[in-house]
């Protein structure tokens, strides 16, 4: 073997070894590195999402507990059907304590509340029937303007939830006037609670 052939072999052999290393070791490892790098990025994003969720869970649990307490408080203000006579007696006592002349209390029939009227179709979750009934109550009262205002204000602190829909004024002997109060209360069906 002459010197030229030895030089060619010395150049070709390392180049061949480098090419074999590139194709059989470096390229597959580089592809594996790129795949692992993409997987790492994906797992980091997933970890970030999970950490965000974990940070929110405490806040969401506190919000859930607050809402449960609010619902429980509201349910205590909703009479059951069996408690309706007691509610009417409480209303009468309130009117008497304000020196109003309660001429009539006329409860209407229990009704299912009407769904809110919206132009757009509501999602199925919003179409679930409420778990309460409404009871219209019509009151005929004789008293002064100030007494009726105190009655409306006192209903805010009333042990049951009563909402005044409207008040009609009928002229009478001044300073007393005749008032027609259309109110509604919300009732838990049956003996719920």
Closest Cα partner for 155 from 108, 93, 106, 81? 93
Calpha distance 24→161 (Å, rounded): 80
Calpha distance 75→67 (Å, rounded): 12
Instruction: Return mean pLDDT, the chain.
Output: 82
Token pair in block for residue 56: 């929110």
With beta carbons less than 8 A apart as the criterion, state whether 143 and 99 touch: yes
Region of poorest pLDDT, from 84-93, 128-137, 149-158, 184-193: 184-193
Band (pLDDT 50/70/90 cuts) for residue 193 is very low
Cα Rg, the chain, nearest whole Å: 39
**pLDDT tops 90 at residue 191:** no
Average pLDDT over residues 74-97: 80
Average pLDDT over residues 160-189: 83
Closest Cα partner for 78 from 154, 158, 165, 183? 158
With beta carbons less than 8 A apart as the criterion, state whether 172 and 166 touch: no
Band (pLDDT 50/70/90 cuts) for residue 105 is confident
Average pLDDT over residues 91-108: 88
Report the side by side order of strands in the sheet with 177-187.
Answer: 101-107, 133-143, 177-187, 162-170
Would you state the pLDDT for residue 71? 80
């Amino acid at each position: 073997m002459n010197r030229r052939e030895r030089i060619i072999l010395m150049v070709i052999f390392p180049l061949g070894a480098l090419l074999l290393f590139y194709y059989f070791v470096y390229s597959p490892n580089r592809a594996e590195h790129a795949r692992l790098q993409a997987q790492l990025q994906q797992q980091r994003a997933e970890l970030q999402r999970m950490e965000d969720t974990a940070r929110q869970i405490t806040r969401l649990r506190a919000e859930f507990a607050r809402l449960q307490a609010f619902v429980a408080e509201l349910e205590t203000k909703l009479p059951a059907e069996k408690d309706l006579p007691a509610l009417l007696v409480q209303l009468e006592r309130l009117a008497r304590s304000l020196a109003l002349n309660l001429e009539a209390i006329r409860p209407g029939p229990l009704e299912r509340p009407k769904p809110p009227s919206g132009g757009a179709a509501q999602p199925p979750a919003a179409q679930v029937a409420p778990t309460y009934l409404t009871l219209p109550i019509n009151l005929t009262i004789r008293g002064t303007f100030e007494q009726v205002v105190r009655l409306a204000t006192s209903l805010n602190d009333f042990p049951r939830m009563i909402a005044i829909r409207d008040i009609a004024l009928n002229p009478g002997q001044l300073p007393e006037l005749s008032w027609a109060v259309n109110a509604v209360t919300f009732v838990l069906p049956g003996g719920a609670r």
